[in-house]
Amino acid sequence: MKKLIAGNWKMNGNAAEASALIEAVEAKIAKDMDILDKCDFVVCPPFVHLGLVRAKLENVAMGAQNCSQRGNGAFTGDISCAMLRDIGARYVILGHSERRQYHKEKDETIAAKAQAANAEGLITIICVGETEEEREAGKQNDIVAAQLEKSLPDGVSEDNTVIAYEPVWAIGTGKTATPDDIRAMHAFIRGKLVAKYDDGDKIRILYGGSVKPSNAAEIFAVEHVDGALIGGASLKADDFMGIAAAA
């Protein structure tokens, strides 16, 4: 399986910075096209930069960081899946811990959003992961199993869904889960997917949480790590492509 190298730009960058970043990433890929045999790329800019990033895409796909579960209508401040498709997005990140935490998004809402996204032909990147407290209590498997059970919609397949395991305590903290932690959780998630879906062995499982060029090789070497969801390091083309090079 090709690795999926996904950049979550979060709420960063002005228009000039977003343009420069996608240009730099595309330029690096253009110089080393063989990397496309090993990796698929997606960047997820803030909504307001989707149009300008779309205009510069060559070998990278584009995603959004959220979507509404509703169709177009009177929902002030929301963005529909149809709008995302129209502007050229192919992916949408859902259930990120920052949305679960700051916007109190529940698994059921995430499932509804995922259903709407899939219906519009978008591939969802559904994030799951435990907090530090939950890990210390040894509850990480229960937490992740419940998130998988409740935040995945009907009709999940390798064509419309990617799972991202992001331990909350490893996001933006510089603390990365150890290869053994990652191995155990990715194997656990794979088991759940295989038990539930016919193509569960082909659904990509990304790792996210302080991935950088210096730790990417050991993370990618872990079984059932099919790519990375990268926050901070996706804001620098050198680091983002350094991680891809490790794949």
Catalytic residues: 96, 166
Residues 78-117 that bind ligand 13P (CB under 6 A): 96
Closest CA to 61 of 32, 84, 94: 84
Shortest distance, position 8 Cβ to ligand 13P, whole Å: 4
* Contacting residue, 79, 123, 148, 230, with ligand 13P by CB under 6 A: 230
C-alpha 63/C-alpha 52 separation (Å) is 13
Cα-based torsion angle of the residue sequence 31, 24, 55, 171 in order, rounded to the nearest 10 degrees = 120
Establish if 209 lies at the interface with ligand 13P (CB under 6 A).
yes
Establish if 229 lies at the interface with ligand 13P (CB under 6 A).
yes
Nearer to ligand 13P, 30 or 217 (CB): 217
Binding range to ligand 13P, per CB under 6 A, among 56-64, 81-89, 155-163, 204-212: 204-212
Binding range to ligand 13P, per CB under 6 A, among 17-25, 73-81, 164-172, 196-204: 164-172
Q: Which amino acid is at 71?
A: G
Q: Which pair of tokens denotes residue 37? A: 């045999």
Closest CA to 51 of 41, 59, 62, 60: 62
Nearer to ligand 13P, 73 or 102 (CB): 102
Is 11 within 8 Å of 46 (Cβ atoms)?
yes
What phi and psi, each to the nearest 5 degrees, are found at residue 137?
A: -85, 0
Nearer to ligand 13P, 12 or 59 (CB): 12
Establish if 8 lies at the interface with ligand 13P (CB under 6 A).
yes
Bridge partners (DSSP) of residue 163 are 126, 205
Give the contacts of 150 (CB within 8 A, at least 6 positions apart).
Answer: 107, 108, 110, 111
Establish if 208 lies at the interface with ligand 13P (CB under 6 A).
yes
Shortest distance, position 83 Cβ to ligand 13P, whole Å: 22
Which residues make up the interface to ligand 13P (CB under 6 A)?
8, 96, 166, 171-172, 208-211, 229-233
